[in-house]
Amino acid sequence: MAATHDPARKIRVRNAVAAVVGSVLEWYDFFLFGTSAALVFNKVFFTGGSAFTATLASFATFAVGFAARPIGGLVLAHLGDRLGRKPVLLLTLVLMGIGTLAIGLLPTYAEIGFWAPVLLVVCRILQGFGVGAELGGAYVWTSESAKPADRGFYAALPGGGEFVGVMCASGAMALVSSLPREQFLDWGWRVPYLASVLVVLAGLVLRFLSTESEEFTEALAEGKKRKLPLVTAVREHGKTILLMIGAGTATSVASYSIQGYLPSYTTEQLGLPENTAVIAITAASALSVFGIPFGGWLSDRLGRRPLIIGGGLAIAVFVLPFWLLVGTRTVPLIVLAVCVGFALLLNSLIFGPTGAFFAELLPTEVRYTGLVLAREVNAVLFAGTAPFMATLLVHLGGGSPWWLAGYMALSGVVTAVSVLRLRETAPRVLARAAAGKTGSARPHREGIR
C-alpha cells in the first residue's frame, strides 16, 4: 500500500522548526544581555559611580529593552494580524541580529565616556523592538499550524527553543567568563555577541522557506481582517487580556529574578565565583528544553488551567526553600534550587501550557495583537523591572533575600488567581466535558469563566 501523503503535516513540522530555530536565535541574543548586565556592563559601560549605582544602572538598561518591547510588539503584531505571521517573524530576526552585533562592537566608557552607555541603550531598544513580537508570533504561528488536539505541544516548542538559546547564551558566557578577568572584561564578553550573526542568518533562511499559517489565510479569505486589531482586541476582549497579563506574573517576576538577578546575588552577596549562578541557570535551561514541550503536551490531556494554577501556587511555596538552598553557598544545592524552581515549576508547569492557552483565548483576526499586548504589558510591569526590584529589595533587606522571596511568592499567587478567572481552552478537555466525563468547561466568546 502506498504511503499516505500528508502535506499539512509537512507544513506543521516545517513551521514548527522555523519557529523553534528563530526562538533559539532571538532569545540567545536577548538573554545574553541579561547575563552581561549582571557580570559585565556595570564594569564596562557604567564606571562613573559606586558599585551599587553601577549595578542599578546596568539593570535599568536591561529594563529599557522591556520598555521597547510593547511598542515594537504592537507595531509588528498589527502588521502580523493584517499582512501575515511569516513576514513579521522574518523582521524580528533582522532587528535582533543588528542590535546584538552592534553591542559586541561598542566602545567602552573608558574609550568614549558618556556615549558608551547611550549607544548601549540604543542597541537595547532595537533588541526589545524585535523581541516584542517574536515569541508571541511564534505562539500564534505554531498553534494555528497545529491540529487542535496537539496545539499545547506545538505551541510549547518555541518556548523550548527559547531555552536552547538561553542555555547557549549562559554556556557561552560561562566559557568566556572563565578567562582571566582582564581578558574577559576586555574582549572575552564580546565573543558571544559577534558569533550570533551566523545563526541569525541561518534563522532567516529557515523562516523564508516556511509557510504562512493556514488558519490566518482562511480568516483573510473570509473577510475577518480588522483595520485596527488593537482597538478591536481591547474593546471586545479587554477583560481576557487583563487576566492574561495577571496570568504571566510568575513567569516574569520569579523567572527574571532568577535569570537576571541571581548571578549578581551569588557574586556580590555570597562571594561566590562569577560563573556559579550561570552554571545553575544553564543546567535548568537544559531541563527546560524538554520540560516546556512536556508541559504543553500534558496540557493537551489534562487542560491548561490545572497546570498553570498548580505551578503558580507551587512557586509561591517554594521560594522560601529556594533562597535557603542558595544561601548554603553549595554549588550542587544552588543548581538543585534553580532546576526545581525555574525548570520544573516556572517553565514546565506554567510556561509550557501558556503559548496554546493564550492563543486559544483570542480569535484569529486579533490573536497576534491581543497576545502581544498581554505579554508585553506584563513584561514592562514585571519582567523588565524584576532584576532592578530584586537588587533594591535585597539592598533594603540588608543583603537578605526575604523581601525578594515575598515578592516572588506574591507573583505566583497572582498567576493562580488570574487563571482561575479564565476558561479552559484545551480541545480534548472541552470534548470530554461536553460528553459529560468532566465538569462543565464549555467555550465562551469571551475568555472569562
pLDDT in tens, 227-239: 899 999 999 999 9
**What would the pLDDT profile of 290-336 be if each residue is shown by its tens digit?**
999 999 999 999 999 999 999 999 999 999 999 999 999 999 999 99
Confidence of residue 447 (pLDDT cuts 50, 70, 90): low
Burial of 11 (0-12, 13-18, 19+ CB in 10 A): middle
Given this model, what pLDDT does residue 37 score?
75
Of 28, 359, 352, 34, nearest to 198 by C-alpha is: 28
Summarize the confidence of residues 22-32 as an average pLDDT: 78
Residue 38 forms part of a structural domain: yes
**What would the pLDDT profile of 126-171 be if each residue is shown by its tens digit?**
888 888 898 899 999 999 888 889 999 999 999 999 888 877 887 7
Distance from C-alpha of 49 to C-alpha of 154, rounded to nearest angstrom = 48
Residue 6 forms part of a structural domain: no
Residue bearing cell 478591536: 232
Residue bearing cell 582582564: 182
Distance from C-alpha of 71 to C-alpha of 369, rounded to nearest angstrom = 11
Given this model, what pLDDT does residue 419 score?
97
| CATH number, domain with residue 143 | 1.20.1250.20
Residue 449 forms part of a structural domain: no
Maximum mean pLDDT: which of 261-275, 375-389, 395-409: 395-409
Residue 258 forms part of a structural domain: yes
Distance from C-alpha of 385 to C-alpha of 281, rounded to nearest angstrom = 19
Q: Which domain holds residue 353?
A: 14-214+225-434
Does the structure show a pLDDT above 70 at 441?
no
Confidence of residue 380 (pLDDT cuts 50, 70, 90): confident
Burial of 118 (0-12, 13-18, 19+ CB in 10 A): exposed
Percentage of the residues of the chain whose pLDDT score is greater than 70 = 94
Q: Are 394 and 269 in contact (CB under 8 A)?
A: yes
Burial of 194 (0-12, 13-18, 19+ CB in 10 A): middle
Given this model, what pLDDT does residue 121 score?
84
**What would the pLDDT profile of 306-317 be if each residue is shown by its tens digit?**
999 999 999 999
**What would the pLDDT profile of 248-288 be if each residue is shown by its tens digit?**
999 999 998 998 889 889 998 999 987 888 889 889 989 99
Distance from C-alpha of 390 to C-alpha of 407, rounded to nearest angstrom = 9
The 10 Å CB-count burial string (b at 16+, else e) for 407-418 is: bbbbbbebbbbb
Residue 444 forms part of a structural domain: no
**What would the pLDDT profile of 182-204 be if each residue is shown by its tens digit?**
888 888 889 999 988 887 888 88
Residue bearing cell 524580528: 92
CB proximity list for 197: less than 8 A, separation 6 or greater: 97, 100, 101
Average pLDDT of the chain is 86
Given this model, what pLDDT does residue 440 score?
43
Burial of 224 (0-12, 13-18, 19+ CB in 10 A): middle
Q: What's the domain count of the chain? A: 1
Residue 339 forms part of a structural domain: yes
Q: Helix, strand, coil shares of the chain as percentages rounded to 5?
A: 80, 0, 20
Residue 177 forms part of a structural domain: yes
Given this model, what pLDDT does residue 443 score?
45
Residue 209 forms part of a structural domain: yes
Residue bearing cell 505554531: 142
CB under 8 Å, gap of 24 or more: what pairs does 394-401 form? 394/265, 394/269, 395/52, 399/269, 401/265, 401/323, 401/326, 401/327
Cell matching residue 239: 477583560
Cell matching residue 150: 496537539
Confidence of residue 413 (pLDDT cuts 50, 70, 90): very high
Distance from C-alpha of 304 to C-alpha of 360, rounded to nearest angstrom = 10
